[in-house]
Structure 1
């Protein structure tokens, strides 16, 4: 398995002695460190040079590949100290959230793979058990590591294992999530378990850490440990604050924490983006994440179309001018979710709850009960965390809350935990909720306005990551559906969910050249299904639905269920994402791999249509099986 150090493998994955090819890589200490054993053997006098070499390596590689830069620049000395004190993978080191684990990957034998960071088949941007035994959990959702740590420590105790330690590294931003406090509540209670909680306090998540916790940590930093800590009140040991960029000081604090043999919080103060002036000067988010550097010719080309996120943000600000009852909520992601324009114009009408999606949704329910119309802007993958609140706190009370789901469908390089491929299925279970999927910038603006106009229950609007592309005009509207292409005597109905409309239109053009006529319809509101969509389906021999959501419980599955049993019901075939966790890779690559491109849609029609024609009355051939 990749990433093993000398103790575990003795050779690198290319078959040579560990460190043998260091001359082709970094010239300093980094080239000689292939795993934690090498790091622990490194003289202390070389550690400052080693830390700066790591920073140079991160800046050089991450600005080429794209990825989380600022957070990892702030983790260099802290991670070095962790791997000098603890014996990974025998000692379990957990990172919350996983985007701060790049230095950990470097120190555990994955330096050579960084050129493939976040690329299809390459190094993951988060911990990955498939890459290395040093990665125990595959996480990027915040506030989870302390619960993992509590469970692992309990398991070691129950199995009589006394020589393995559990370390959870959590940022101050992730500590704003409620799950972290549920874990702390249990860690502080007996029986005592030797868990070391490393609090990486840089004063930020994406934006500055909010709320009473942020004030408390600021007080601890200012008081140099003289103030009473909330952690001690909960029954945990507390050490700090410690300069997280002083390797010797961090090592000393970690060793003291181990000797206590009980849950201990080691409070390390770091600076996000440290050592890279552009990151240190970036007041927005310290270059939290960067895209791959574009060639000069690309940068000089015409401006790209606007992003889905920016279109949403500008339209919401316009709505805010017309609707003083509209308020917005974010879970520590004001800029990434597009709320910054609204916040700049209406600062008193934006609420940042920290990395606490459950509280955001339940709080939105309270705002709606008070006569306002809340808009909860969140990545699609993170709404999963608050499903109970959507169901029981918002929908049960028929409250007018609008959920705006950014990064819906295949998101690309962030991988399995970030793909927003379950929301169409999950939200379809919620009674009274209406769900829209715009196909372009124009329909995003239109559907957002329709959503916030609903006062009888919750609504949701989903859109993908990336740029919008040109608007796709409709021929006419039937019910709530837009008919995009309406040829005479059509054989097939292509149901295009949201941004897959251009692929469906291109597939219809390919089929037309082959003598197959296809209608293309955009449902716009994909739940509940509009009766006009069922009428259109009934008028065609074959219906192909196309969506970047898992097929289970998606639009196609619900349309097939609704059409089943009707006289002359059409054959419905669903093109969707598989019911599995997809790896990281480009959005286009993954859509192509799973048959959600124009050529694949046309091929699906050619596969299924002949069997359906043979099955029609008056044919002499028996019906063929349709896969």
Structure 2
């Protein structure tokens, strides 16, 4: 790795400095309670930019780690957000910004769950409490937010590709800057990471990859790669770095007295570190090292960044490090909500009519829970059902299914492309696979959906979670493009349920259908609708008129065509329009379209025959190419009645821009999709 010409000589860490600080390496504090009051952090408060770290002693850096971790605990309590991963990389973040000369040197984070400490050390300390809030800091690194955020992220397994691109561009321009990519063991299961590593070796690029191995992505890391990392760690050996940069095999100091056979019964006694996967690819491999030992990190990274060619430093960390509850439950503390206000019970509650709320005394299910309930119910009666997820067992509501039907549950790690084609292969053998996947992540498996599933018209059901706007996670995780990229694919059937009950029965309907289908539902809780039993099978392509408001004699008649869970908003908006007009000028037909593909064209023709003068479509999806566009295409190209009567048509949805983070209610209001926003748009249409 070429040394950056900007890096100060003072950052060359001497062996004597390391030795003098070695006794302090385990002094980091462990906390049990999230503080409600801003903690005293004098060292942290003195840092306005990474350059302020350069004068710190190793002892001060260790103290700084305590302060930074405590500050992150406090901030997470105030704003919520990603939690465990951030606590786990405190020491690594400090070491990187101490050794590198950012922003000239490039630090590339993968996924971005772990970048809060990075934000604090790069001038955003006092803004951290605004993270994930409207007009506040983003939940992930974003180039527009800071010059220290070198690459925008949100999806996993991208850092090595992006970092390699930076390294090659810098080399072409004759710049000798360090590029360091931080990637977790979970993200390393994504095939894109291996594609990038293969190319880095081919290009002989100067690239420093730091593998942060905490044996825990969002779910538990699984598969052969995870076992390989465990073998490297449990061997009791490490590949250390000599002062000349050469690999040296030695015993790892933290493994004294460790009985490897108790931890891994099948592991060989002979260490295989010199034949590990990374070296086989062509990387120079060092590790594994303790990622919480600041003196050790400083020594290792200061040597590793001087080694030329592609280098991988393997460190092991503890997710949730320093907060005892998170260390015990890293999955539960992957992300947290902000602490409740202590006197919440005494404060008056303000009604929020911008989004649908559950009726009182009826606990509403999350849509992921509805899917999980359907999976278990259907699997109990049909042994052909198999379920696949790309590392989203908990988020997709599949925990109970995995426990009750382990032989029929397949977590393929962060490999969306593989998940889709795996399902296609299963479907050729007479079983009925269901792929549970977030809308934003299905984008990564799009070619496989077209080529491997739809082209062959295979019997695969896609349960698409987190569709629509997702609130604080922002634009990187919004599922607002799926109608557009699905409905243009031949053989696809696409359902959009209005509530939890309809979601359950549409899942059953699409599962029963022999072909490729998708059921698209949002994040969070529904309206409190009770799931009726037994499971029903709806007629595919048949919409439902939910209500007709206003007089048949009204001169203006509106057909409000609703796709998905905007139905409650549509009903309230329609009532506001009709009830607000004392002369009964308007009649509104509120239609639950239920299916994006195929459309209920028979119903559209029936509405036109009733003298509809205005048509409006409503969806929580981008307007461009969305379900409303499908209505437009039919009416303009195929409907003789539309060409004869020429009603006014208008589409409501998400505008042609990425929607910034904030609460879901704020995002909907920003798009004109709150009750008030929809009412206003409809009044303008009818006027």
TM-score by length of 2: 0.82
8 Å Cα contact 1:473/1:484 also seen in 2: no
Q: 1:128 to 1:351 in 2, by over 3 A?
A: same
Give deviations 1:117-174, integer Å, cap 9, x for gaps.
1000001110011221000111110011111111111111111212x11111000100
User: CA separation in 2, counterparts of 1:303 and 1:244?
Assistant: 47
User: In structure 2, the residue corresponding to 1:405 is in which secondary structure?
Assistant: strand
- Which residue of the partner structure matches residue 603 of structure 1? 680
Please, which runs of 5 or more residues in structure 2 have no aligned partner? 1-6, 8-37, 239-270, 347-359, 533-537
Matches within 5 A, 1:220-231: 220-223=232-235, 224-225=237-238, 226=271, 227=273, 228-231=275-278
- Which residue of the partner structure matches residue 246 of structure 1? 293
User: CA separation in 2, counterparts of 1:32 and 1:303?
Assistant: 50
Matches within 5 A, 1:441-460: 441-455=500-514, 457-460=515-518
8 Å Cα contact 2:574/2:590 also seen in 1: yes
8 Å Cα contact 2:504/2:531 also seen in 1: no
Does 1:502 pair with 2:568?
A: yes
User: CA separation in 2, counterparts of 1:194 and 1:536?
Assistant: 66
Does 1:553 pair with 2:625?
A: yes
- Which residue of the partner structure matches residue 29 of structure 2? none
When structure 1 is superposed on structure 2, of 533-542 and 409-418 the one drifting more is 533-542
| Residue 275 of structure 1, aligned match among 319, 322, 329 | 322
8 Å Cα contact 1:544/1:572 also seen in 2: yes
User: How many residues in Structure 1 have an aligned counterpart in Structure 2?
Assistant: 583
- Which residue of the partner structure matches residue 535 of structure 1? 605
- Which residue of the partner structure matches residue 17 of structure 1? none
The offset of 1:570, in angstroms, is 2.9
The offset of 1:298, in angstroms, is 6.0
User: CA separation in 2, counterparts of 1:526 and 1:298?
Assistant: 42
User: In structure 2, the residue corresponding to 1:517 is in which secondary structure?
Assistant: strand
The offset of 1:568, in angstroms, is 2.1
User: CA separation in 2, counterparts of 1:70 and 1:128?
Assistant: 20
User: In structure 2, the residue corresponding to 1:231 is in which secondary structure?
Assistant: helix
The offset of 1:38, in angstroms, is 1.1
- Which residue of the partner structure matches residue 481 of structure 1? 543
User: CA separation in 1, counterparts of 2:208 and 2:617?
Assistant: 50
When structure 1 is superposed on structure 2, of 429-438 and 286-295 the one drifting more is 286-295
Q: 1:201 to 1:472 in 2, by over 3 A?
A: closer
User: In structure 1, the residue corresponding to 2:211 is in which secondary structure?
Assistant: strand
- Which residue of the partner structure matches residue 3 of structure 2? none
User: CA separation in 1, counterparts of 2:590 and 2:560?
Assistant: 5
Matches within 5 A, 1:227-626: 227=273, 228-282=275-329, 285=331, 287-295=333-341, 304-455=363-514, 457-471=515-529, 480-487=542-549, 488-489=551-552, 491-513=557-579, 514=581, 515=584, 516-538=586-608, 539=610, 540-565=612-637, 566=640, 567-610=644-687
User: In structure 2, the residue corresponding to 1:81 is in which secondary structure?
Assistant: helix
Give deviations 1:218-256, integer Å, cap 9, x for gaps.
111112234222111111111100100011211222122
For the aligned residue pairs, the C-alpha RMSD in angstroms reads: 2.1
Higher relative contact order (CA 8 A, sep 6+): 2
User: CA separation in 2, counterparts of 1:275 and 1:70?
Assistant: 10
User: CA separation in 1, counterparts of 2:606 and 2:498?
Assistant: 19
User: CA separation in 2, counterparts of 1:478 and 1:194?
Assistant: 55
| Residue 188 of structure 1, aligned match among 201, 208, 212 | 201
Matches within 5 A, 1:62-77: 62-77=76-91
User: In structure 1, the residue corresponding to 2:471 is in which secondary structure?
Assistant: coil
User: In structure 2, the residue corresponding to 1:261 is in which secondary structure?
Assistant: coil
The offset of 1:571, in angstroms, is 2.3
The offset of 1:608, in angstroms, is 2.0
When structure 1 is superposed on structure 2, of 564-573 and 242-251 the one drifting more is 564-573
The offset of 1:454, in angstroms, is 0.9
The offset of 1:25, in angstroms, is 7.4
Q: 1:394 to 1:198 in 2, by over 3 A?
A: same
- Which residue of the partner structure matches residue 13 of structure 2? none
When structure 1 is superposed on structure 2, of 359-368 and 507-516 the one drifting more is 507-516
8 Å Cα contact 1:440/1:472 also seen in 2: no
8 Å Cα contact 2:41/2:71 also seen in 1: no
The offset of 1:303, in angstroms, is 7.2
- Which residue of the partner structure matches residue 169 of structure 1? 182
